[in-house]
Amino acid sequence: MSVVFDEKIQQTLGNAKLQLAIYTSTGRLMDHRKKSLTGQLPDFEELRTHANAVKKHTIENLDYYLEQLEANVKAHGGQVVWCRDGQQVADFVLALAKEKGSKLIVKSKSMTTEEIDFNERLEHHHLESVETDLGEYILQLKHERPYHIVAPALHLTRYDVANLFEKELGVPNDTVIENQTLLARKVLRDKFLQADIGVSGANFLVADSGSIVLVENEGNARLTTSAPKIHIAVAGVEKVIPRAQDLATFLKLLGRSATGQPLTVYTSFLSGPKRAEEVDGPDEFYLVLLDNGRTKVLADREKRQVLYCIRCGACLNHCPVYRKIGGHSFPWVYSGPIGAIITPQFMTVRHEPALPFASSLCGACAEVCPVKIDIPKILLDLREDVVKARTEDASNQLERLAFRMFAFMMSHPWLYRLAGKLGARFGPKKAWVSHVPGAGMLPPVKLWLSQRDLPSLAKKSFRDLWKERKG
């Protein structure tokens, strides 16, 4: 694996406080999820299957639904802006801000905007963009990426926040969480009321309505999309669902899978700028549809199911690997099992070739995914892709040789039996290796022993015992 990946992993593993924070937070989210499902949503399995079928249909006919979405957005007075990448999104926003004389943007939480480094792209253009979700606001002050899809500041303590606010906001050091929250509320309230533009993401794009759906608990997304005169929603093209009625399925799955809530505090179904008779709301609405590599992923029949993701974070919470290495060990904005399959597809397998291997394939993720993405299967497919992409690399050639030898031995029983006998004769640990898959994998023995003991070698193999047994 890359040095960076390894270092980040080691750093996280070595930080006992962080290990505890990750483990307890994800454990709590798992418990909440379980409580909201067991005996509470008896048709959960059926809903998942249905959600998968709806997403499959939509993704396989995405062009149709995007056109329907666009037509309906326009019918309700909004505009659709199609963007190939983050630069085009930034160009659009900057041009609009210039035209309108906008100085201040308020933002609600959006992984899609993280994906394209939205705030960074606007930084040097005299346009202030303020995150309003409490966790994201904290991270923005800290110049850090989200640690988890749903709980972005999972890795921070109240002491971290107190120090941060003291440094960045010039306030006395206060470690009381309620006070910290109230302070953020006060600061951000002013921003909401002064902002010229509100930028949100979208949890769902509803094709038959030309609408976006936003789920949240704080109220900042509602304020972001209701107070400023301009609302821009940025969403990946894969967020489309066919009908408003499909929300009866998806909303039930999203809240429970993410945080164990049957519904989050606020679920907004927004359809364009305010209507003439409405008293408040934005005057202008822009839906930015983002590609950023999604059309590439779409082309892979097997792996395109990664686009079904509704960003609930359940796979992160249940992943024993994520629960050890945390969100910042991952090379891109998306972490956990979904990150492990999205990243190689968007950034190519060479970006971090070890990533698909950073999994024991336990399958806990697939078991909880509300849209039934077969994550382990895609990881296995990606592993094959990594091997194919790296045939020329020296380290891979050695590994390939080892597996060639493994395959040869395992398809020639006489050789396999011989290796077994030799191993038995030449004693324990070292020779043990000679009949375990891959003769050239001596380093693995050392790596194994770094964490746990090896079993002592059986003096007689099963074959020997079987022969004896038969008499």
Partner 1 sequence: MPRVSLFVTCIIDQLFPKVGIAMADVLERAGCSVEFPEDQTCCGQPAFNSGYREEARTVARHFLKVFDGAEYIVVPSGSCTSMVSHHFADLFQDFPAELAATRTLEPKVYEFSSFLTGVLKVEDFGARFEGIVTYHDSCHALRELKIKDGPRRLLGNVKGLELREMDIAQECCGFGGTFSVKFPEVSGGMVRTKIESIKKTGASTVVSIDSSCLMQIRGALSRAGLPIETMHLAEVLASR
Partner 2 sequence: MQRDLILRDVRKALGRDAGQAVPPPPPARIVIPDVPVSQRIDSMLDRVAALAGKTLRAKSMAEAREYVAALIEGKTAVASNAPFLRDCGIAELPGVSSGITDREELRRLCATCNYGITSADYGLSDTGSLVMLSSREEARLVSLLPPAHIAVVPASKLLTGLDELFSILPRPAEQTSSMVLITGPSRTADIEQILVRGVHGPGEIHVVVVEEETAIAGPPEP
Give the interface size with partner 2 as a residue count (CB under 8 A): 102
CA separation for the pair 198, 281 (Å, rounded): 11
- Residue 217 or 434 having the CB closest to partner 2: 217
Asked whether position 463 contacts partner 1 by CB under 8 A, the answer is: yes
Q: What angle do CA 420, 422, 427 make, to 5 degrees?
A: 100
What residues pair up with 81 in beta bridges, in sequence order? 288
Q: How far is the CB of 315 from partner 2 (least distance, A)?
A: 19
Among 359, 370, 372, 373, indicate the residue that binds partner 1 (CB under 8 A): 359
**Interacting residues with partner 2 between 72 and 91 (CB under 8 A):** 72, 76, 80, 82-84, 88
Do the strands 128-131 and 266-270 form a parallel or antiparallel pair, or are they unpaired? unpaired
Does position 12 interact with partner 2 (CB under 8 A)? The reply is no
Encoding tokens for residue 312?
A: 């609930």
The amino acid that residue 95 corresponds to is A
Residue 265 is classified by DSSP as S
Which of 103, 167, 296, 463 lies at the binding interface for partner 2 (CB under 8 A)?
296
CA of residue 105 relative to chain centroid, distance: 25
For residue 63, the partner it binds in partner 1, partner 2, none, with Cβ less than 5 to 8 A by kind, is partner 2
Using an 8 Å Cβ cutoff, are 310 and 201 in contact?
A: no
The token duo for 193 is 């009321």
**Residue 51 and residue 370 in contact, taking contact as beta carbons nearer than 8 Å:** yes
What is the identity of the amino acid at 290? L
Task: Check binding of 455 to partner 1 (CB under 8 A).
Answer: yes
Q: Specify whether the CB–CB gap between 434 and 444 falls below 8 A.
A: no
Which segment (117-125, 290-298, 313-321, 324-332) binds partner 2 by CB under 8 A? Answer: 290-298
Nearer to partner 1, 100 or 404 (CB): 404
- Of 273-281, 320-328, 371-379, 451-459, the segment contacting partner 2 by CB under 8 A is 273-281
Please pick, from the candidates 8, 74, 189, 417, the single residue that binds partner 2 as defined by CB under 8 A. 189
Can residue 438 be called a binding residue for partner 1 (CB under 8 A)? yes
The rounded Cα 68 to chain-centroid distance in angstroms is 28
Which of partner 1, partner 2, none binds 278 (CB below 5-8 Å, type-dependent)? partner 2
Is the Cβ of residue 219 or residue 440 nearer to partner 2 in the bound state? Answer: 219
CA angle 435, 450, 354 (to 5 degrees): 80
Q: Is the dihedral of CA 283, 105, 238, 245 positive or negative?
A: negative
CA atoms within 13 A on the CB side of 257: 27
Site string for partner 1, 403-432 (x = CB under 8 A): xx-xxxxxx-x--x---x--x--------x
Residue from 91, 166, 367, 393 binding partner 1 (CB under 8 A): 367
| Residue with tokens 């304020």, as numbered in its chain | 223
Binding-site string for partner 2 from residue 202 to residue 221, where x marks contact by CB under 8 A and - marks none: ----x-xxxx-----xxxx-
465 in contact with partner 1 (CB under 8 A)? yes
Which one among 363, 398, 439, 440 touches partner 1, defined by CB under 8 A?
363
x-or-dash pattern for partner 2, window 34-73, by CB under 8 A?
A: ---------x---x--x--xx--xx-xxxxx-xx--x-x-
Other CB atoms within 10 A of residue 226 CB: 17
Task: Tell me the C-alpha distance between 120 and 289, whole Å.
Answer: 19
Pair of tokens at residue 159:
């002491």
6-65: which residues touch partner 1 (CB under 8 A)? 9-10, 13, 19, 23
Q: How far is CA 226 from CA 265, 281, 298, in A?
A: 16, 5, 34
Q: How far is the CB of 302 from partner 2 (least distance, A)?
A: 13
Binding footprint of partner 1 on the chain (CB under 8 A): 1, 9-10, 13, 19, 23, 320-321, 324-325, 354, 356-364, 366-367, 377, 380, 383-388, 399-400, 403-404, 406-411, 413, 416, 420, 423, 432, 435-438, 441, 443-444, 447-448, 450-455, 457-458, 460-466, 469
